[in-house]
Amino acid sequence: MELFLQQVFNGVMLGSTYAIVAVGLTLVFGILNIPNFAHGHLYMLGAYISFFLMTVHGFGFWTAL
């Protein structure tokens, strides 16, 4: 039961992240009438920095975030 609740929580968190990204893209497109995909750049930059801190400097997962 604990594993099920953890998976439900993970699904809700991932879904809310997708919703926030979708709302950001929708607002930019709705106001400017041009697609702006700069959000993806910021997410990838954060992922690369976290990966670098974890692999090169030996930081823990939560510390790197």
Is a pLDDT exceeding 90 seen at residue 5? yes
Amino acid making up residue 18: Y
Domain residue spans of the chain: 1-34, 35-65
Residue 46's pLDDT is what? 86
Residue 17's pLDDT is what? 87
Residue 49's pLDDT is what? 92
Q: ∠31-24-36 over CA atoms, to 5°?
A: 65
Is residue 50 a contact partner of residue 64, using CB atoms and an 8 Å limit? yes
Is a pLDDT exceeding 90 seen at residue 8? yes
The pLDDT tens digits of the residues spanning 12-60 come to 998 998 898 889 888 888 888 887 777 778 778 888 999 999 999 988 8
Q: Could you tell me the CA-to-CA distances from 51 to 44, 54, 58 in Å, in that order? A: 10, 5, 10
Closest CA to 53 of 65, 41, 44, 42: 65
